[in-house]
Amino acid sequence: MGSTEEIALIRLQRLSFVIYEHPDLAVFRRFAVDFGFEEVSSTAEEIHLAGYGKDAFVYVARTSSSGAGKRFVGAGFIAESEADFKAATAHTGAEQVDSSKRPGGGQAVRIRDLNGFVVEVCWGQTEQQLPSRGVSAVTNGGPVLNGALEKARKGHFTRLRDGPAAVHKLGHFGYITDKYEDTCDWYRKTFNFVPTDILWAPGNEQVDVATFFRLDQGKDYVDHHCLLVTRAETIPAKTTVHHSSFEVEDLDTQMMGHQWLRNAGYELVWGIGRHVHGSQVFDYWYDSSHFIIEHYADGDVVNEEYETLKAEAGNMAVWGPPVPVIWGGKQPTA
């Protein structure tokens, strides 16, 4: 039996989807197809987009209210157990969500964090059947690499299909907040979020500026992070979404998706490169509403044996283009 704090936690199994509002849903729909989503249901006001992973949908796109601009609403998670879902329904301020018409059905409850963003906790959804292997742009289903000394691909050629990079799942999302310490504390005390990496301000080890959170699943390996919380540094401080990130199968698929988006005329933010924290190969783009959205591949997975790393912020990539101005670099665009 755990401590009182552990018993009180609402345990989440995984991140499932994000919710955004867009001023022009038709324009965003075109972007979504080019980004690699599959539309699984739609009305005039709402579109559900899926990847090829187990989640029935990974992105909810809604029409902004009349006269309102774009908005990040929040994210949805799958509860670890029915008991955890019931605990979520009993949380202060929790609201039932009608999920009967959503792909996968099931039940859902809405909780708001300290910044007003929605955290949906879901249970009982019908999951999609997973393919036998990841969906790659490589025509034989996935890359086999020939190294300098070991040639694993003998008598076979690497051929690629043109088109969007097929999305597997939602990997993580992040936002910037002027309530950094309180927000980190709320997520850790409400759910089973634990910090994988914590970054401090350049030159000031006493001030943390970013935390990469994962969902604690004990000995089971999970993604390096599914939530990134960063300290607002603008004056006046502003709380806003940072980005949402979706996994693709491999680097070839990512490069083909990058080329597809470039040729379609979309605006690149930063990429392609490889991150330090999480090790993902990243590719950031602006969507049709100027939200930042990312393809990633080859990310780290960790379990309870990993000890939280603390490091100085600033080293965002091992390799890749110069960091763009919006993230503290000198490059207007990547």
- When the candidates are 3.40.50.300, 1.20.1260.120, 3.30.420.40, 3.10.180.10, the CATH number that belongs to 9-128+165-327 is 3.10.180.10
What pLDDT sits at residue 331? 64
Q: Where are the domains of the chain?
A: 9-128+165-327
Q: Which amino acid is at 203?
A: G
What pLDDT sits at residue 3? 36
How far apart (Å, rounded) are the C-alpha atoms in residues 95 and 284?
33
Can you list the residues of the chain whose pLDDT is less than 70?
A: 1-8, 330-334
What pLDDT sits at residue 332? 62
What pLDDT sits at residue 158? 92
What pLDDT sits at residue 1? 30
Residue whose entry in the numeric block shows the structure tokens 């930063």: 270
Tens digit of pLDDT for each residue in 144-155? 889 999 998 898
How far apart (Å, rounded) are the C-alpha atoms in residues 308 and 225?
12
What pLDDT sits at residue 223? 99
How far apart (Å, rounded) are the C-alpha atoms in residues 68 and 16?
26
CA dihedral 172, 174, 179, 183 (to 10 degrees): 0
CB-based burial of residue 5 (10 Å sphere; 0-12 exposed, 13-18 middle, 19+ buried)? exposed
The secondary structure of 296-320 as a DSSP string is EES--EE-TTPPPEEEETT--EEES
Q: Which of 117, 113, 263 is nearest to 184 (CA)?
A: 113
The answer to whether the beta carbons of residues 17 and 110 sit under 8 Å apart is no
